Structure 1
């Protein structure tokens, strides 16, 4: 088997293990009723920015990039990919937050805006295991997606479990 395939598989397994470990670690919030992203998302942003910088440097220090169109395309695609990841993680870290209590939830994202809902209006709660988030659907039509990387997401799930939304 090709070493690139093996290293890709090993990297994928390590990322999966890191995701499971991190989401379990972030289940409880240090501040009761608070939802926000922790250092994992911020460090993902900085790591992606650093990788983007390394790839940009490859354009200037590796003459083969300009001669080989496949290598040029690969590095360009990686620069775009890691730039998008860095920006997305940066925005998520600073702009996504929320609060919840026994009555309801207030949640803000730059993608869908501010939502304030009460638990009595909650219609369904579903785990999307592929995206690693819980989808909360309300009677008003609002949908709140709670990432498993939000600190305190487990507190919300425990609260909803105590209210009988899970069987």
Structure 2
């Protein structure tokens, strides 16, 4: 999903004055400034304000930030779960339940101007990469074509969640 006009969604928590853009006002008023009421593109605080606004909204919907990366959030509802990854104005959602996924999309669309980009196949300028052919070649090379998948534990010390 893509958030439209990302940085324009936020209020600012300090007093900021801005010089008018060139040719915006007549030359006789060239020393007049304007006081910003909302965040704008190019403002140093814009991305920080956006993150806090987004975090407030999603935590109100039951999401919790990951202990390692605050831009990765999760929500558990019984045996159902959904993960949300925020990268500036791009949101990647992954869920075990279609209804939970659609509910989250509706919630986000209600709170922000959004564009649903559909199933993720091109994220952050990276094409979807599949390792299937490579894995099959490696298994074939080492005569392991008939091996069966097994669950393996995560290396001790890796933290993805406190839960």
TM range (shorter): under 0.3
Please give the TM-score of this superposition, normalised by the length of structure 2: 0.25
Q: Which has the larger radius of gyration?
A: 2
Which structure is higher in RCO with an 8 Å CA cutoff and minimum separation 6?
A: 1
More helix as a share of residues? 1
